[in-house]
């Protein structure tokens, strides 16, 4: 497939996903299969078409069949980019081929925490058969000396590693997002690099790194979620759709259990509701005070919902019987 055909297929894919109907569901599967067969991915191709973002979002689709196909497609494209020489995310030593084994040359080991900006023969970056290895700052040859503060530099690189782990976006775009996030956190904390700063950056890193939440990473890298918005989101807001659904079910189950623990209410026509004048009133009694005191009667009108609470039996009776 050429660029025009790929862009046309991508446009049709986005339209089918937004339609969200059984007919379009089949269309999504057909288009994903077409892209799997017809596209040999390179870093430049994915940057130009932003195809990786469109397909990457489908890994959290409601339909499991779409999820699996999207995951296999992303994995295939990672292998394609790894095998290509033009991809900035997976760089190998010039002159090697995808079938080369690890170089026998002794790797140069750096004693600093910085990422070397010079090509080296280290097997972690030069070996092209690293499709299972996640993309990170070291593989992208990102210079770690970004600020004059070592702690800030390390936090920026952590955020970069989280955002780039399954992204096909250019390294400079991801680095810009990472730096903006760190600067926003620092500004919110009044430029104090302290324990609160480290805690916030660690929380953001763990949420962005979550393998089950690729949609959050793609939204941040693409700019759909701004740095100012991300830094104020709660862990619940940053959670994946799967986690949100699980939390919702857990909340509903807890609510059901709570409601199930309530005392049974009896309904009688002995009381007259002073609000709507109906005589259908539910009530139940609890011993809320000492044993030598009378029980407290809780009454509620079935018709209008008018209620009295924490009254003794006599006071509750007088409250409703306003005749």
Same domain, 219 and 293: no
Tell me how far apart the alpha carbons of residues 23 and 90 are, in angstroms, rounded to a whole number.
38
Q: How confident is the model at residue 176 (pLDDT cuts 50, 70, 90)?
A: very high
Average pLDDT over residues 150-179: 90
> If you compute the radius of gyration of the chain from its CA atoms, what whole number of angstroms results?
30
Tell me how far apart the alpha carbons of residues 317 and 156 are, in angstroms, rounded to a whole number.
68
Q: Is residue 209 part of a domain?
A: yes
CATH code of residue 299:
2.20.25.10
More confident residue, 142 or 59: 142
In this model, does residue 221 exceed pLDDT 50?
yes
pTM for the structure as a whole: 0.49
Cβ atoms of residues 213 and 238 within 8 Å: yes
Tell me, what's the pLDDT at 91? Answer: 35
Q: How confident is the model at residue 215 (pLDDT cuts 50, 70, 90)?
A: confident
Average pLDDT over residues 58-66: 80
Tell me how far apart the alpha carbons of residues 157 and 161 are, in angstroms, rounded to a whole number.
6
In this model, does residue 197 exceed pLDDT 80?
yes
CA atoms within 13 A on the CB side of 25: 10
Same domain, 200 and 119: yes
Residue 288 domain boundaries: 266-320
Average pLDDT over residues 267-290: 78
Tell me, what's the pLDDT at 120? Answer: 39
CATH code of residue 12:
1.20.930.10
The DSSP letter of residue 267 is: E
Average pLDDT over residues 109-132: 39
């Amino acid at each position: 497939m050429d660029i025009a055909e790929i862009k046309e297929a991508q446009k049709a894919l986005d339209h089918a996903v937004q339609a969200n109907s059984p007919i379009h569901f089949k269309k999504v599967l057909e288009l994903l299969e077409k892209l799997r067969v017809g596209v040999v991915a390179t870093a430049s191709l994915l940057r130009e078409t932003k195809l990786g973002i469109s397909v990457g979002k489908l890994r959290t689709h409601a339909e499991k069949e779409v999820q699996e196909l999207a995951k296999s497609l992303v994995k295939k494209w990672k292998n394609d980019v790894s095998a290509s020489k033009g991809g900035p995310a997976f760089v190998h030593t010039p002159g090697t081929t995808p079938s080369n084994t690890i170089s026998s040359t002794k790797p140069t080991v750096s004693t600093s925490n910085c990422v070397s900006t010079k090509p080296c023969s280290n097997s972690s970056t030069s070996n092209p058969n690293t499709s299972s290895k996640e993309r990170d700052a070291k593989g992208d040859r990102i210079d770690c000396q970004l600020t004059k503060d070592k702690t800030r530099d390390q936090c920026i690189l952590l955020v970069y590693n989280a955002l780039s782990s399954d992204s096909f976006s250019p390294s400079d775009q991801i680095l810009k997002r990472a730096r903006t996030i760190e600067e926003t956190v620092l500004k919110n904390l009044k430029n104090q690099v302290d324990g609160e700063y480290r805690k916030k950056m660690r929380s953001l890193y763990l949420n962005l790194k979550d393998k089950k939440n690729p949609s959050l990473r793609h939204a941040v890298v693409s700019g759909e979620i701004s740095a100012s918005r991300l830094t104020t989101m709660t862990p619940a807001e940053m959670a994946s759709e799967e986690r949100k659904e699980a939390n919702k079910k857990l909340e509903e189950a807890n609510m059901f259990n709570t409601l199930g623990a309530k005392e049974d209410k009896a309904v009688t026509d002995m009381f007259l509701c002073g609000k709507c004048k109906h005589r259908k009133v539910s009530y139940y009694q609890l011993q809320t005070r000492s044993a030598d005191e009378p029980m407290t009667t809780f009454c509620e009108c079935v018709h209008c919902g008018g209620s009295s609470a924490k009254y003794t039996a006599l006071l509750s009776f007088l409250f409703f019987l306003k005749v």
